[in-house]
Amino acid sequence: MSNDRTAEVYAEISRSGYYPEIVADGLRDAVADESIQAYVLHHEPTFDRDEIRRHMTVLVLTPTRVVLLHTDEHPPDDLLPHPYTSTTSEAVAISQVRSVVVTRMVSTATHQLEEAVLTMGWGAVSRVDLEPAHCDDPECEADHGFTGSVTGDDFSLRMSATADGGAAVGRLLEFARFLSAATTNSNSTSA
């Protein structure tokens, strides 16, 4: 992974028109002069009561980290009397990424890729799904406690060809391939 796509991601941020200086500044600080090897931009509307607000997620892969950047716009509130943006970044060492899950939805009629979901886990967030445990005896009324599962679900991003365009879905899958390769290389060198 020697190709440097740093200029490309900043050009795409600029073309998005969504607070490009603010998003670029937040990314520049989070990346900290590392080169960018793969990236995904996802610009989406969010609904807040009767208003539409915009949100942008930028994912980048550097030689050592995955950087997630979220920028939101907000109405005036008790914090600030004027509309404002907030940008939050998180950097995760590649060696800490425990799972990269990719789900592809392909139309059986057209055999076209319709959407993809990328889920990454590094142990910061876990979801617990519990349900009452049962036994096979239909007459049993005993309390068997609970059964369930713990799932790592730190970050998930869904993109569809209809909403985001086929190229955006392709970029998400490309990012997933680069990330999977980076985690494989990182885990084999740290073993």
Quick one: average pLDDT of 8-13? 96
**Is 90 a domain residue?**
yes
pLDDT at 148: 72
Is residue 147 in a domain?
Answer: no
Tell whether 121 is covered by a domain: no
Burial state string for 161-170 with b = 16 or more CB within 10 A and e = fewer than 16: beebeeebbe
Report yes or no: 170 and 161 within 8 Å, Cβ to Cβ.
Answer: no
Answer whether residue 78 is part of any domain.
Answer: yes
| More confident: 9 or 75 | 9
What pLDDT score was predicted for residue 52? Answer: 80
Give the per-residue pLDDT at 131.
79
Nearest to residue 125, comparing CAs of 151, 102, 100, 148? Answer: 151
**What is the structure's pLDDT at 1?**
43
List the domain range (segments joined by +) for residue 74: 6-100+152-190
How many domains does the chain fold into? 1
Q: Assess whether pLDDT exceeds 80 at residue 185.
A: no
Question: Is the pLDDT assigned to residue 8 strictly greater than 80?
Answer: yes
- 122-131 pLDDT, tens digit each: 876 556 667 7
pLDDT of 81: 92
In a domain, 40, yes or no: yes
141 lies in some domain: no
Judge whether 32 lies within some domain.
Answer: yes
* Residue 120 counted as domain residue: no
Q: Residue 155 pairs with which residues in a beta bridge?
A: 120
User: pLDDT tens digit string along 67-110?
Assistant: 999 999 888 888 899 999 999 999 999 999 998 999 999 999 99
3-state secondary structure at position 150: strand
pLDDT tens string 55-71: 999 999 999 999 999 99
Question: Structure tokens of 177?
Answer: 């391939």
